[in-house]
Structure 1
Amino acid sequence: MKPLLLLDVDGVLNPMGRPSPDFRPYRCTIGTEVYTVYLNPRHGRRLLELALATGSELVWATTWEHHANEWIAPRVGLPSLPVIAVPPDVPPSEHGEMFKSPHVAAYAGRRPFVWFDDQVFAEDEEYLRVHQGLTDFLLVHVDPRRGLTSRDLGMAQEWLTLSGFSQGP
């Protein structure tokens, strides 16, 4: 079973703070809404290298859902990726977990995964372990002001390799 690398967009690939000069602004139109996102074109290459080195599969875990393939992927150099669907009418959390956590658990099944998100916390880890029975995952809380960093990517590679989940070349 290939491990999964789950990607959020806002706060991870699109930082909420003042981005460094490595990021470029893009205007995206979804329906009648126009968004400005700041993306680092090098993120795609680095994520693809991580996926290749660890034998992992990249998957969107974002409320952008399929729009991430249209607006985000080409601007950071990623191919079209599978998407974890998050229905628009998500019931409130029962255990303090983020609204995406049950959908991530259902998608991952028993596959090991690393989840890059700016909104994953201890409640999500507890929910996934206790209420979903999952044990083989790493939640990487990305600082939303800075976005995805080399440190975040390094944590994922180290965990996948040391845990024996890496299926790289």
Structure 2
Amino acid sequence: MTERPLLLLDVDGPLNPFRAPFAGLRGYKSHRMWPEVWLSYRDPESRRARRGARIRLHPSHGARLLALPFELTWATAWTHQANTLISPHIGLPGDLSVVEWPELFAEDPDGLSWKTRHLRDWAAGRPFAWVDDMITPRDRAWVAAHHPAPALLLRVHPRHGLRDRDFTALTRWAEGLSPAGR
């Protein structure tokens, strides 16, 4: 049996459209959460830290992600908390693989996203799709030049989150992989 391609999934932007003024009108539900990465940038005694971060999640996204022909992996600064805080609200299993970052938000000498090089290494030569709001043309060019297998870097605007067209693009890309490319 052929391995499915990896889907490396960020939280903020794709699943949590944090820049959307009216996400609730599109079926998103608001939740208050206290992710460690978010708290690390707040005064623990501040009103904002006590209230928590407002996270908007669409309850249908889990089923739609599970229906894709991919092996899902969290590629987010939320790390393992994506399994405990995000998964239950969207219907994903709480034991998805998690990319272990050597350092969060490390500056790249070539101006790539802090995730790019590590995700290429994490994929270990396997085809992968990376869904994030911080992907740039520079990241795409670097992965194309340095990854031996097909890769789709899908930028999702943090105002919109994952949309139907993104699910379609992911499905088409995965289905277009030849058996040898998987």
- Given that 1:112 and 1:137 are in contact with CA atoms closer than 8 Å, whether structure 2 keeps it comes out as yes
- Given that 1:8 and 1:117 are in contact with CA atoms closer than 8 Å, whether structure 2 keeps it comes out as yes
Mapped partners of 2:75, 2:127: distance in 1: 15
* CA displacement at 1:88 relative to structure 2: 3.3
SS in 2 for 1:6: strand
TM, length-normalised to structure 1: 0.88
Q: How does 1:11-160 map to 2 (within 5 A)?
A: 11-15=13-17, 16-18=19-21, 19=23, 20-31=25-36, 32=44, 33=49, 34-50=52-68, 54=69, 56-80=70-94, 81-88=96-103, 91-130=106-145, 132-160=146-174
Unaligned segments of structure 1, at least 5 residues: none
% identity of equivalent residues: 37
Unaligned segments of structure 2, at least 5 residues: 37-43
Distance 1:121 1:89, change over 3 A: closer
Query: Rg bigger for which structure?
Result: 2
Question: Residues 34-89 of structure 1, C-alpha deviation per residue, up to 9 Å, x if partnerless?
Answer: 21100000000000011xxx2x2000011111110111011000002100112335
Mapped partners of 1:5, 1:121: distance in 2: 18
Name the aligned partner's letter for residue 44 of structure 1: G
**Which residue is 2:9 aligned to?**
7
Superposed CA RMSD: 2.0
Tell me the number of residue pairs that the alignment of Structure 1 and Structure 2 aligns.
Answer: 162
- Given that 1:7 and 1:116 are in contact with CA atoms closer than 8 Å, whether structure 2 keeps it comes out as yes
SS in 2 for 1:151: helix
